[in-house]
Structure 1
């Protein structure tokens, strides 16, 4: 399936076929896609929970404005941000760069020191807003990969993060939930699957500058 055809095929699935589960191979694709998503400075201030327990999904549905797709999906992906992006977090990233690329310290240290100084001067709220932006980048990557893999998905902001965090024990992991993505396969009686795409005309949203 071509990329454009795949993006036309996808829609925000409202009802999943509960009898169909994603294979481990499909899940691995989504896990790797999440891990390979672009993030600012490459710091990856993100983690992702993969939930496939129906009882847990039923409970999470209550914290998601009772949206049916949370319970009926094959899996629920919860994109979280790290609550502490500090000197230790940044230096761990650069240790990883050195190990994988064998980059010498004299090349890495100036950029590492810049980031440590820059983040130490930011307010907690500013770092959180920055991390949230990275979560949306990851969501975009996942939605595109889902489309090309013919996996149905429904991106969601409509949930209660505090209740998710408490129920899933995210606070103990220094994480905060930001976005939810139920994935699986559309139900045959989901009427939204037949709706035509509604988008502004291309010439209205694209500005070409010579």
Structure 2
């Protein structure tokens, strides 16, 4: 894993002729789905954009960044501006089904979630949801590297235009993750990574 993480970088130029297998893409999506989130709520969704026409439009809304169209796969993370009680109810029901517990045993857990979320305004809730999405992004990056697949996390795009292009109303585009295989012409792949030393990063007390 250490070698895989050292190998990966934010790919700037993809080879558009190389495609990820369906099985590998499923593994990446499953890794994102397995990421931990606060209370286990998973307050984000993924849009796997396969349409070339949509990706052309998204590239125009991404300051003409080539990975949007040239990478094999593109995933948009979205978050909701609200977490409805229905979403929490649905999560409680999944717990009942997966763990085979009585619904009544989850009432206090649900009340705790609702109580905490009720203290957040809309902007705070979007920020809280986004934090959960970034954990999922990290899992996707690591799984891709493990599979020898390149990736690029992106925040540099017009989020309002993405929402319009993707027909989003309640949900809001928060980040983009592309996957594929690096082009030989991407010279940034040869750049040495610049990171803090562990002594600079970690304080022991």
TM-score, with length taken from structure 2:
0.95
Asked if 1:176 is matched to 2:172, the reply is yes
Q: How many residues align?
A: 205
| Counterpart Cα distance in 1 of 2:90 and 2:54 | 33
1:94: Cα distance to partner? 0.6
TM-score, with length taken from structure 1:
0.93
1:75: Cα distance to partner? 1.0
1:25 aligned residue: 23
| Structure 1 unmatched ranges of 5 or more | none
Greater displacement, 159-168 / 58-67: 58-67
Asked if 1:56 is matched to 2:46, the reply is no
1:82: Cα distance to partner? 2.3
Moved over 6 A (4+): none
* Aligned partner of residue 154 in structure 1, secondary structure: strand
Counting only pairs closer than 5 Å after superposition, residues 38-187 of structure 1 correspond to structure 2 as 38-171=36-169, 174-187=170-183
- Conserved 8 A contact 2:79-2:129: yes
- Conserved 8 A contact 1:14-1:190: yes
- Conserved 8 A contact 1:78-1:180: yes
Question: RMSD of the TM alignment (CA)?
Answer: 1.2
Asked if 1:191 is matched to 2:176, the reply is no
| Counterpart Cα distance in 2 of 1:97 and 1:125 | 28
| Structure 2 unmatched ranges of 5 or more | none
| Counterpart Cα distance in 2 of 1:56 and 1:25 | 23
CA deviation profile, 1:177-200 (whole Å, cap 9, x unmatched): 100011100001110111111111
* Aligned partner of residue 26 in structure 1, secondary structure: helix
| Counterpart Cα distance in 1 of 2:58 and 2:104 | 48
